[in-house]
Amino acid sequence: MGVAPSGGKGMIGSLVHAYTPLILWTGVGALLFRFLPESFPRFLGRSLYWVGVPWQIFALVRETDFSSNIGIVPAVTIATLGTGLTIAWLALRILIWLKTQVKPAWLDKIEPWFPPLDRASQGTFVIAATIGNTGFVGLGLIPALIGDGDLSWAVFFSVTQNLVGTFGVGVLVASHYGRSETQSTPLTLLRDILTVPTLWAFAAAYFTQSIAFPNWAETLCQSSLLFVIPASFLLMGMRLIQLNGIDSLKAAAVPVALKAVILPSLVAIAVTLLGLNHDARLSLIIMAGVPSAFASLILAEEYNLDHNLAASSIALSTIAILVTIPIWLVISY
């Protein structure tokens, strides 16, 4: 199956549909910030971590059909996460090596394009380069790009990444880098994973799929989209307004290049070698190349990572996808 007959118009319409609330609520967040206490963004981020995102995941899992025979999708998703983690870690090691060991003469000219390399920023770097916004942006774009094609690949990728990636690997990375090396012990990491509210929400939703909720409960469950996504954008607007202009975006260039270009390119090669059909190829490539997840900002707030780098990575990678989507459309054929 190919792209819907509307082709480019469908893609443009989908982009407009996906980005209108992003621009609207982010702008509102930027305007509201000056009237709110400085502590409010952290309060909002922690509220999303403990209540908002689990609520949203509970609703998504309740609606997901896990009986479909597409076991390859979780495998590809986990392989994508592993690849993202590997290239992010290697990139960090190279940047640290250049800055602390080699110190070449030309380093001063490109150093503004380096992210901060303190421990908190390293954690944000890894998360921003690895985990993408598969829920809102990914699932918002795929239907228009493949028309009446098979959406199950994209849905399973999103669910797997949220479960294993964002609130599995992402929490481990955030917990490790959000503490000093002496405080980051295996027991501490295990405790943080076992207390992730989103994982408990996933389990609760999965084991109650066969139970019919009252109409009011179903409505309440599905209404998460009315609150969680706008709240995430409000938080991003509040953090973006605190950035130092173009210099902050420059610092996000490396993790965004890894997330928006390198990682989906590697996935494109892999799915082509696997011989997957067009719908599967396009879905998996797009999902691998979506902007850095808003959850990276939520994790930054919860674990005291670099929220400036998180917000910059989200903003820059959101701009980047406007350029990369036509490329992935061509490659997927």
CATH number for position 262:
1.20.1530.20
| Distance in angstroms between the alpha carbons of the first and the last residue of the chain | 10
Closest alpha carbon to 290 in 151, 133, 127, 152? 133
Which pair of tokens denotes residue 108?
Answer: 């001063």
Residue 314 in contact with residue 296, Cβ under 8 Å?
yes
Closest alpha carbon to 260 in 297, 294, 290? 290
Sequence-distant (≥ 6) Cβ neighbours of residue 324 within 8 angstroms: 260, 261, 264, 289
Which pair of tokens denotes residue 193?
Answer: 């994973």
- DSSP assignment string, 78-114: HHHHHHHHHHHHHHHHHHHHIIIII--TTHHHHGGGS
Give the 3-state secondary structure of residue 281: helix
**Does 85 fall in a domain?**
yes
| Angle, in degrees to the nearest 10, between helices 170-177 and 186-194 | 130
What does the alpha-carbon distance between residue 27 and residue 238 come to, in Å, rounded to a whole number? 9
Give the 3-state secondary structure of residue 292: strand
pLDDT in 10s for each residue of the chain, 333 residues: 344 444 555 556 656 666 677 788 889 999 999 899 988 998 998 898 888 888 888 887 887 776 664 568 888 889 999 999 999 999 999 998 888 887 777 777 787 788 888 999 999 999 999 999 887 677 767 776 776 666 778 878 888 888 888 888 999 999 999 987 777 788 888 888 888 888 899 899 989 988 989 999 889 888 887 888 788 889 888 888 887 778 788 889 999 999 999 999 999 999 889 888 888 888 899 999 998 988 898 899 889 999 999 999 998 998 888 788 888 888 876
Q: Domain count for the chain, please give it.
A: 1
DSSP label at 258? I
What does the alpha-carbon distance between residue 333 and residue 51 come to, in Å, rounded to a whole number? 41
**Does 2 fall in a domain?**
no
Closest alpha carbon to 133 in 291, 252, 261, 331? 291
Helices vs strands, H then E, count in the chain: 19, 0
> Which amino acid makes up residue 243?
L
> Which amino acid makes up residue 266?
L
Quickly count: other Cβ atoms within 10 Å of residue 173's Cβ: 26
Which pair of tokens denotes residue 113?
Answer: 């394009």
What does the alpha-carbon distance between residue 318 and residue 228 come to, in Å, rounded to a whole number? 19
What does the alpha-carbon distance between residue 9 and residue 5 come to, in Å, rounded to a whole number? 9
Task: Give pLDDT, residue 115.
Answer: 87
**Does 147 fall in a domain?**
yes
DSSP label at 163? I
**Does 76 fall in a domain?**
yes
Sequence-distant (≥ 6) Cβ neighbours of residue 106 within 8 angstroms: none
Give the 3-state secondary structure of residue 132: strand
Residue 252 in contact with residue 316, Cβ under 8 Å?
yes
Q: Which domain holds residue 46?
A: 8-331
Closest alpha carbon to 321 in 269, 286, 274? 286
**Does 223 fall in a domain?**
yes
**Does 1 fall in a domain?**
no
**Does 171 fall in a domain?**
yes
What does the alpha-carbon distance between residue 168 and residue 85 come to, in Å, rounded to a whole number? 13
What does the alpha-carbon distance between residue 170 and residue 163 come to, in Å, rounded to a whole number? 10
Closest alpha carbon to 263 in 144, 156, 161, 122? 161
Task: Give pLDDT, residue 69.
Answer: 47
Give the 3-state secondary structure of residue 287: helix
Which pair of tokens denotes residue 243?
Answer: 């950035």
Containing 4, the helix (H) or strand (E) segment is none
**Does 173 fall in a domain?**
yes
